[in-house]
């Protein structure tokens, strides 16, 4: 094991609205200060009492899933915390992941696809 689950990130049209919904359902703290994420109009978080963190990410042309219709599948990704992005990169690529977005030098996260194409992020913690 070289990573820990940081949060589940859900795509949506209105991050604050969805954070409020899940807050009413689960309790916890909306947009709690956290060095891992910057809160903005396009990003909101919920730190649930269980320790789970949900994040809500604005998608400008959001099209909600039409489960179980596969033409508009479920939309979320996982963030995994790692102490060393370069070492974790080597390990996930060796396991079959594909780098989708490395970003500029010094950015604290990278985007990958798992072998089935599901996106996930490695986030330096």
**25-79 pLDDT, tens per residue?**
899 999 999 988 888 999 999 999 999 999 999 999 998 888 788 888 878 899 9
pLDDT, residue 121, reads 93
Average pLDDT over residues 13-29: 94
In this predicted model, what pLDDT tens digit does every residue of 73-96 receive, in sequence order? Answer: 878 899 999 999 999 999 999 999
Structure-block tokens of residue 24? 């009413």
Please, is 18 exposed, middle or buried when counting C-beta atoms within 10 Å of its C-beta (0-12, 13-18, 19+)?
Answer: buried
Closest to 98 (Cα-Cα) out of 116, 123, 125, 75: 116
What φ, ψ does residue 90 adopt, rounded to 5°?
-60, -40
- Print the domain residue range for 47: 4-124
pLDDT, residue 76, reads 86
H-helix or E-strand spanning residue 110:
strand 109-113
pLDDT, residue 70, reads 84
103 by DSSP, 3-state: which? coil
CATH of the domain at 61: 3.10.180.10
Structure-block tokens of residue 61? 């042309």
Domain count, the chain: 1
Buried b vs exposed e over 40-57: b needs ≥16 C-beta within 10 Å? eeebbbbbeeeeebbbbb
pLDDT, residue 24, reads 93
20 by DSSP, 3-state: which? helix
């Amino acid at each position: 094991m070289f990573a820990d689950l940081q949060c589940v990130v859900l795509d949506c049209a209105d991050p604050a609205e969805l954070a409020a919904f899940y807050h009413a359902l689960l309790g916890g703290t909306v947009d709690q200060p956290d060095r891992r994420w910057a809160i903005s109009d396009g990003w909101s978080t919920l730190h649930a009492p269980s320790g789970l963190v949900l994040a809500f990410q604005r998608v400008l042309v959001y099209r909600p899933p039409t489960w179980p219709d596969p033409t508009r599948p479920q939309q979320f990704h996982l963030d995994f915390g790692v102490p060393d992005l370069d070492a974790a990169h080597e390990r996930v690529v060796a396991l079959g992941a594909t780098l989708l977005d490395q970003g500029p030098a010094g950015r604290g996260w990278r985007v990958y696809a798992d072998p089935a194409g599901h996106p996930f992020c490695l986030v330096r913690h």
